[in-house]
Structure 1
Amino acid sequence: MRKTYDTMILGCGEAGVFAGYELIRRNPGMKVLIVDQGQDIYHRSCPIVAGKVRECIDCKVCHTMCGFGGAGAFSDGKYNFTTAFGGWLTDFMPEQEVMELIDYVDEINTAHGATREVFSTETPAAQALRKKALEFDLHLLQARVKHLGTENNLRILTNLYEDLRRDITFQFNTAVTAIRQAEGGYCLETADGDQYLAKFLIAAPGRSGAEWFAQQCRQLGLPMTNNQIDIGVRVELPALIFEHITDVVYESKLIYRTKQYGDQVRTFCMNPYGHVVAENVEGIHTVNGHSYSDPKLRSENTNFALLVSNHFTEPFDEPYRYGKHIASLSNMLAGGVLVQRFGDLVRGVRSNAHRMGKSTTHPTLTAAVPGDLSLALPKRQLDDIIEMIYALDKLAPGTANYDTLLYGAEVKFYSARLKLSTHLETSLPNFFAAGDGAGITRGLAQAGASGVRAARAITQRIQGA
């Protein structure tokens, strides 16, 4: 089968969804195709989340990572109004323009059911918390944030899908095997032998397609540069310990520079009263966290990631592969996600079922296997994490309790970054890239903003012709 469209979007995550939304809004009647290897929003169902299995069964296509809404669909929906983190769009455009795009995407979300409640680090209570953190050399980043909630996030995306499906052609369950230049535009070749052609292409493959997309870019001769990779653990402890922080700012981004190595460690993706969950990234089991808006769905624990940022220099050029290797070690040891009590880690003993049974903090990811993180994570990163936990213990006493749980490994893969113009266009004409898979964003807000930016550039080119 061979079909032609005006514009094609590769990937149906946050960037792809909002690129499609903006194209249709500004170009009524445009023939737009969005291709994704996952399912539509109604048929995305992780067997673990559905309660059918306890452990990841390695579905051919991961429902948590792929499909309409991408990896963000099953996240707890933190929407950050900032350029301080969540991506690097300010490398391509002024900060004010990035913020305008972030606000614009938020308006669309709100029109489709998102909350209007915003947590801010600019309130007197938040500023007092920021000052207290500085006493312990912890730096609280300032940002406004909305907590959409896992269940509400799905509802927002469902409403968006219903709006878009009337005007956009979606091709789900479709694995693209190659991107080619063809006939004054681009061709997407699929595993089924089909071909889709268009003059304009927006590549938004998301995190799950990042490594594949990098290979395609190399074959097309598109220059790329290494990005960082973050390696760490997910911490779970009683919600009461962080309540004085999460009640004020909800998502506290705390940065610490270790004294031993001078490395940067940060908290990430904080989930008050949340649940630790497993993810499958191209066959590698990693860990993440969710939290719900509905009090009935909450747990007694709070979880968050502690991540050590790693930047690589020449000649090494495979940070993505390095991160997958680290995560695979914990998979090898535990058959999936590994969990250890902080006290056991410090003492140098392996957590086992007997020791875990004595823990006063009960794991929300019951499928995690007790083990020894020191056999999976590099010593330097583990030393950084331990030092950070003791620093956090000064701000939130109880963080360094013996029974604090550490899940591993948590790895944030940031794709190799394409060389792009201010309009997010590659060196090939009419070929744009957006979102996490292109290595320019790492969160809902900037991913959506990047999709809108690329769509507006195409619109200007069409309407200016």
Structure 2
Amino acid sequence: MSTRYDVAIIGCGEAGIFAGYELMRLCPSLKVVTLDQGSDIYTRSCPIVAGKVKECIHCKICDTMCGFGGAGAFSDGKYNFTTAFGGWLTDFMDAKEVMDLIDYVDSINVRHGATDQVFSTDTPAARALEKKALEFDLHLLQARCKHLGTENNLKILQSIYETVREHVEYRFRTSVASIEVLGTEGYRLGTDRGEPVDCRWLIAAPGRSGAEWFSNQCKGLGLELINNQVDIGVRVELPAKVFEHITDVVYESKLVYRTKQYGDQVRTFCMNPYGHVVAENVEGINTVNGHSYSDPALQSENTNFALLVSNRFTQPFNEPYRYGKHIASLSNMLAGGVLVQRFGDLVSGIRTNEHRMSKSFVRPTLTAAVPGDLSLALPKRQLDDIIEMIYQLDKLAPGTANYDTLLYGAEVKFYSARLALSGELETALPGFFAAGDGAGVTRGLAQAGASGVKVARVIARRLSEQG
């Protein structure tokens, strides 16, 4: 026996949350359900964060990646006001609409406790930094940014959850196993709970952890997929003083460089001043990420950021997601989890071991990382790109290429194979929409939330037109 709803939302990461929020605001009488394989915002608990274990034990459902808030719930909450990075929404609508949506989502966050403080890039110091970077062929992408903070991000999500749960039904610890087309009646979602869910309108916002599952569902439904990219790299950790002159001016500094050896694009990503390196589980694969806290008492003496090499593939290869997982699994195989190596050892062709690590002036914030050799895990091309980028960054931030700079691997950013979508984020199947990171539409909190609002407004408008 199925239960029927007006709208069903798959996933309650940023896109799914704000789709539900906007539907609640515009159409409070609608019967809306959100299904997620994870838990609510209060009961999500990673055993590592809770101090129960020192390394990933491969929980069946990863509480770091799944549940209310998605992968962003335990992030440091960087909210970027830009169309230049963070997704591809400008492929579907004009830049002004995207920025209006981003600002709207921010206003909701503020209503629920987010800071008003914005790090602006339109300052003399930021412009001078941009000019200095260009002298070394480094391109600084400028964007206003808010830092919500890892601890504050959770409080904001809890407040939003308390508001939305009054109007949206949430089914946690419920995995969607299948999507079935019911013709003019809409769609049926098969679940691991045995009770199907029928709906007239379907919003797929599966998040990063559901990207591969969603891609397979789309193939089964005959929906056209556009081959996408995967970003492979490392997380760099060094003394905060090395990057202070940059992070004090532009909190979220994104520096892009095209390597001379291969012509590949390498970029910094997810800059965490005074932050901590953390492990992240993506469908049983341990990757690495970074956090930073607003509270000075929780900060470290280090700054960490990702260095990512973008890889785009052509036919006949069409499984970039599996390729990225395979690369990450190699470092897992060598280290039993996350691998760490000193930059000087990497360049010298020496494996970092516990003895060499004990002599390092830079103390790792991810103590569970195992010293090893990244050259045995990452492809040579990507590793050459990363080494060239570190030497280039050293010109702008002297000390980046120090012997004891730490490199953690692997950091992999997965992108779902993108669907062919209309300007309203609708698939070729009427009433079936896709939003957020896992659907290959966005990358990051701001545009993910914006995509969810966009889809909700489309549904509300069509319902209004139908009378």
Shorter chain as denominator, the TM-score bin is over 0.9
Pair 1:153-2:142 in alignment: no
2:303 is aligned to 302
Distance 1:86 1:49 in 2: 27
Instruction: Give 1:447's aligned amino acid.
Output: A
Secondary structure of the residue aligned to 1:84 is coil
Instruction: Give 2:218's aligned amino acid.
Output: C
Distance 2:122 2:260 in 1: 29
CA displacement, residues 102-126 of structure 1 (integer Å, 9 cap, x when unaligned) = 0000000010000011112211110
1:192, distance to aligned residue in structure 2 (A): 2.1
Distance 2:244 2:205 in 1: 37
Distance 1:398 1:449 in 2: 38
Distance 2:48 2:273 in 1: 21
Distance 1:342 1:28 in 2: 55
1:29, distance to aligned residue in structure 2 (A): 1.5
Matches within 5 A, 1:107-146: 107-146=107-146
1:243 is aligned to 244
1:53, distance to aligned residue in structure 2 (A): 1.1
Distance 1:198 1:176 in 2: 13
Instruction: Give 2:399's aligned amino acid.
Output: G
1:439 is aligned to 440
1:406 is aligned to 407
Distance 2:460 2:426 in 1: 13
CA displacement, residues 313-336 of structure 1 (integer Å, 9 cap, x when unaligned) = 111101001000000000000000
Secondary structure of the residue aligned to 1:17 is helix
Secondary structure of the residue aligned to 2:248 is helix
Instruction: Give 1:154's aligned amino acid.
Output: L
TM-score (norm 2): 0.99
Distance 2:406 2:277 in 1: 11
Give the superposed CA RMSD: 0.6
Pair 1:37-2:32 in alignment: no
1:60, distance to aligned residue in structure 2 (A): 0.6
1:164 is aligned to 164
Distance 1:345 1:192 in 2: 49
1:182, distance to aligned residue in structure 2 (A): 2.1
CA displacement, residues 140-180 of structure 1 (integer Å, 9 cap, x when unaligned) = 00100000000000000000000011111000000111011
Pair 1:28-2:28 in alignment: yes
Instruction: Give 1:179's aligned amino acid.
Output: I
Secondary structure of the residue aligned to 1:119 is coil
Distance 1:405 1:75 in 2: 21
Instruction: Give 1:6's aligned amino acid.
Output: D
Secondary structure of the residue aligned to 1:329 is helix
1:193, distance to aligned residue in structure 2 (A): 1.1
Instruction: Give 2:93's aligned amino acid.
Output: M
Distance 1:352 1:292 in 2: 30
Distance 2:22 2:191 in 1: 26
Distance 1:96 1:107 in 2: 16
Secondary structure of the residue aligned to 1:201 is strand
1:358, distance to aligned residue in structure 2 (A): 0.2
Distance 1:321 1:200 in 2: 30
Distance 2:138 2:371 in 1: 30
Instruction: Give 1:257's aligned amino acid.
Output: R
Pair 1:195-2:215 in alignment: no
Distance 1:166 1:63 in 2: 24
CA displacement, residues 351-398 of structure 1 (integer Å, 9 cap, x when unaligned) = 000000000100000000000000000001000000000000011110
Matches within 5 A, 1:420-435: 420-435=421-436
Instruction: Give 2:122's aligned amino acid.
Output: E
Matches within 5 A, 1:371-390: 371-390=372-391
Secondary structure of the residue aligned to 2:50 is coil
1:206 is aligned to 207
Instruction: Give 1:44's aligned amino acid.
Output: R
Distance 1:47 1:248 in 2: 36
- Which consecutive aligned stretches of 4+ in structure 1 deviate over 2 angstroms post-superposition? none
Instruction: Give 1:62's aligned amino acid.
Output: C
1:2, distance to aligned residue in structure 2 (A): 1.9
1:91 is aligned to 91
Structure 1 gaps of 5+ residues are: none
Instruction: Give 1:352's aligned amino acid.
Output: N
1:356 is aligned to 357
1:191, distance to aligned residue in structure 2 (A): 1.2
Distance 1:141 1:99 in 2: 16
CA displacement, residues 221-251 of structure 1 (integer Å, 9 cap, x when unaligned) = 1111111110000000000110111111111
Distance 1:347 1:122 in 2: 41
Matches within 5 A, 1:320-359: 320-359=321-360
Distance 1:5 1:100 in 2: 30
Distance 1:152 1:226 in 2: 36
Instruction: Give 1:113's aligned amino acid.
Output: G
Pair 1:68-2:71 in alignment: no
TM-score (norm 1): 0.99
Distance 1:98 1:152 in 2: 25
Q: How many residues are treated as equivalent by the alignment?
A: 465
Distance 1:352 1:401 in 2: 18
Distance 1:121 1:69 in 2: 28
Distance 1:238 1:318 in 2: 37
1:186 is aligned to 187
Distance 1:215 1:134 in 2: 42
Identical positions, percent: 77
Instruction: Give 1:103's aligned amino acid.
Output: D
Instruction: Give 2:338's aligned amino acid.
Output: V
1:455, distance to aligned residue in structure 2 (A): 0.4
